[in-house]
Chain A
Amino acid sequence: MAASSKFVSEWWLQRISAVIVAAYVALVLILLMVYGTPNALQWQGLFANVGFKLATILAIIATAYHGLVGTLHVWPDYVKNRAVLSVLNAYTWVAAVAVVLWAVYILFGLK
């Protein structure tokens, strides 16, 4: 019972995180399409905007979660060796957590 409700919420979270990332990626791609290649001033000005910083960190947290869940589901379909699988799962967790922490540093701690 508890296990099945965990999978149901995981199913929903995978889709909610996907929609958050999709909205952010669409926004960035539209900006690139409309304005073309940015120069340093435009690029750094965009990332200095607090609203864009918050949208970026939300999108990166959603990306890390979505990538963590998706990747953990895909490995066991191809990797049958349990030791190798453990290493891949550990790498996946470390990478997902590292992405979020590093993004927080880049967006809010740099300089």
Chain B
Amino acid sequence: MSDTPLAKSRARPVYRNIGFGDLAHYRLPIPGIASIVHRVTGIALFVCLLFLLAMLQMSLKSEAGFEAFRTVVWANPIAKIVLLGLLFALIFHLVAGIRHLIQDATVWLDLAAGRRTAFAVFGISVVLTALVAWRLV
């Protein structure tokens, strides 16, 4: 079998775990993308918790502290983009988490439902983030 001309001319694919170097040409299916974004948003939220607490303390310490948050942090375009990014991370992690809880109940586990609900998680979290941001800005 292995010495037929066809087998020699065609390179056989090698299957193994993917690494970061494969990401550029590896087409991750949408449920896989939802899964990795759930992880990234979780880590980002955990790492930023202490910064969020610093801002909470600032806003609660005094009226001047609250105004300082509004005029120094919230008025800064870069800080605002970071905070709105964290808002998206929070909402995405929440919506994707609800999908996981539903899947824990062995609902929507087939491939078609997995793709549909993963798309829905992205759509719902973008819309919810936009709505909250619109009320805050």
Contact = CB atoms under 8 A, between A and B. Distances in A.
Interface in B1-60: 39, 42-43, 45-47, 49-50, 53, 56-57, 59-60
A106 interface: yes
A44 B60 contact: yes
A83 interface: no
A67 B49 contact: yes
B104 interface: yes
A106 B52 CA distance: 12
Nearest to A26: B94
Contact of B131 (A15, A33, A111): A33
A95 B49 contact: yes
B56 A106 contact: yes
Interface stretch (B61-69, B76-84, B115-123): B61-69
A44 B57 CA distance: 11
B90 interface: yes
A50 to B, nearest CB: 15
Contacts of B53: 99, 102-103, 106
Interface residues of B, number: 29
Nearest to B97: A18
Q: How large is the interface on A (under 10, 10 to 19, 20 to 34, 35 or more residues)?
A: 20 to 34
A76 B45 CA distance: 18
A33 B90 CA distance: 16
Contacts of A37: 135-136
A102 B50 contact: yes
Interface of B: 39, 42-43, 45-47, 49-50, 53, 56-57, 59-61, 63, 66-67, 90-91, 94, 97-98, 101, 104, 128, 131-132, 135-136
29 contacts: A15-B101, A19-B101, A21-B94, A22-B94, A22-B98, A32-B135, A36-B135, A36-B136, A37-B135, A37-B136, A39-B66, A43-B59, A43-B60, A44-B59, A44-B66, A47-B60, A63-B49, A64-B49, A67-B42, A71-B43, A74-B39, A92-B46, A95-B46, A95-B50, A99-B53, A102-B50, A102-B53, A106-B53, A111-B61
Given A15-B101, A74-B39, 10 more contacts: A29-B91, A29-B132, A33-B131, A33-B132, A44-B66, A67-B45, A67-B49, A71-B46, A102-B50, A102-B57
